[in-house]
A and B are shown apart, each in its own frame.
Chain A
Amino acid sequence: MPKVTYIQPNGAEVTLDARDGDSVMETAVKNGVKGIVAECGGACACATCHVFVDPSFSAQVGEPGPLEDDMLDGAASDRQETSRLSCQIKMSADLDGLIVRIAPEQV
Chain B
Amino acid sequence: MPDVLIVGAGQAGMQIAVSLRDDGFEGRIELVGEEPHGPYQRPPLSKAFLHGTADIESLELRAPSFYVDNAIVVVPGEQVVSVDFSGERGVATTDTGREIHFDKLALATGSTPRRLPTEGADLDGVLYLRDIADAIDLKKRWDAAASVVVIGGGFIGLEVAAGARMDGKQVTVLEAMDRLIARAVSAETSEFYRAAHERRGTSVRLDARITRIVGAGGTVTGVELEGGEIVAADIVMVGIGVVARGELADQLGLETVNGAIVVNEFAETSDPRVVAAGDAVLLPHPLGGDTQVRLESVQNAVDQAKTAAKTLAGVREAYRAVPWFWSDQADLKLQIAGLSTGYDQTVVRGAPDDESFSVLYYRDGRLIAIDSVNAVSDYMAVRKALGSGSTIPADQATNLDTPLKTLVVAS
> Which residues of A line the B interface, CB within 8 A?
19, 21-22, 26, 29-32, 39-47, 67, 70-71, 73-75
Provide the bound-state CA to CA distance between A67 and B335, in Å: 12
CB neighbours (8 Å) of A67 from chain B are 333, 374, 376
Q: Report if A29-B62 is in contact (Cβ < 8 Å); known contacts: A41-B41, A41-B43, A73-B380.
A: yes
* A70 lies within 8 A of B376 (CB): yes
Residue from B61, B333, B376, B405 having most chain A Cβ neighbours under 10 A: B376
Provide the bound-state CA to CA distance between A39 and B337, in Å: 14
Size of the chain B interface, CB-CB below 8 angstroms: 31
Task: Please name the residue on chain B nearest to A68 by beta carbon.
Answer: B376
* B57 lies within 8 A of A71 (CB): no
- B251, CB-defined interface residue at 8 Å: no
CB neighbours (8 Å) of A26 from chain B are 58
Can you give 24 A-B contacts (C-beta < 8 A)?
A26-B58, A29-B62, A30-B61, A30-B62, A31-B62, A31-B66, A32-B18, A32-B69, A39-B302, A40-B43, A40-B298, A40-B299, A43-B43, A43-B326, A43-B328, A46-B299, A46-B326, A67-B376, A70-B377, A70-B380, A71-B380, A74-B380, A74-B383, A74-B405
CB distance from A26 to the nearest CB of B (A): 7
Provide the bound-state CA to CA distance between A42 and B324, in Å: 15
Provide the bound-state CA to CA distance between A40 and B334, in Å: 13
Provide the bound-state CA to CA distance between A39 and B58, in Å: 16
* A40 lies within 8 A of B326 (CB): yes
Q: Which of A21, A40, A46, A70 contacts B58 (CB 8 A)?
A: A21
- B27, CB-defined interface residue at 8 Å: no
* A32 lies within 8 A of B302 (CB): no
- Digitize B78-106: 1 where CB-to-A-CB distance is under 8 Å, 0 elsewhere: 00000000000000000000000000000
CB neighbours (8 Å) of A39 from chain B are 298-299, 302
* B44 lies within 8 A of A31 (CB): no
CB neighbours (8 Å) of B324 from chain A are 46
CB neighbours (8 Å) of B60 from chain A are 30
> Which residues of B line the A interface, CB within 8 A?
18, 41, 43-44, 57-58, 60-63, 65-66, 69-70, 298-299, 302, 324, 326, 328, 333, 335, 374, 376-377, 379-381, 383-384, 405
* B377 lies within 8 A of A73 (CB): yes
| Besides A30-B66, A41-B298, A71-B380, 5 other A-B contacts (C-beta < 8 A) | A30-B62, A30-B63, A40-B298, A41-B43, A74-B377
CB neighbours (8 Å) of B383 from chain A are 74
Provide the bound-state CA to CA distance between A32 and B60, in Å: 12
CB distance from A78 to the nearest CB of B (A): 13
Provide the bound-state CA to CA distance between A26 and B381, in Å: 26
CB distance from B338 to the nearest CB of A (A): 15
Task: Please name the residue on chain A nearest to B44 by beta carbon.
Answer: A41
CB distance from B49 to the nearest CB of A (A): 12
Provide the bound-state CA to CA distance between A21 and B374, in Å: 26
Provide the bound-state CA to CA distance between A4 and B373, in Å: 34
Residue from A19, A40, A42 having most chain B Cβ neighbours under 10 A: A40
CB neighbours (8 Å) of A40 from chain B are 43, 298-299, 326
Residue from B62, B63, B65 having most chain A Cβ neighbours under 10 A: B63
CB distance from B206 to the nearest CB of A (A): 27
* B66 lies within 8 A of A45 (CB): no
Provide the bound-state CA to CA distance between A17 and B16, in Å: 26
Provide the bound-state CA to CA distance between A103 and B333, in Å: 25
CB distance from A4 to the nearest CB of B (A): 14
CB neighbours (8 Å) of B57 from chain A are 19
Provide the bound-state CA to CA distance between A44 and B380, in Å: 12
CB neighbours (8 Å) of A19 from chain B are 57-58
Provide the bound-state CA to CA distance between A22 and B341, in Å: 38
CB neighbours (8 Å) of B298 from chain A are 39-41
Provide the bound-state CA to CA distance between A89 and B193, in Å: 30
Task: Please name the residue on chain A nearest to B383 by beta carbon.
Answer: A74
CB neighbours (8 Å) of B384 from chain A are 74
Provide the bound-state CA to CA distance between A7 and B380, in Å: 26
CB neighbours (8 Å) of B380 from chain A are 47, 70-71, 73-75
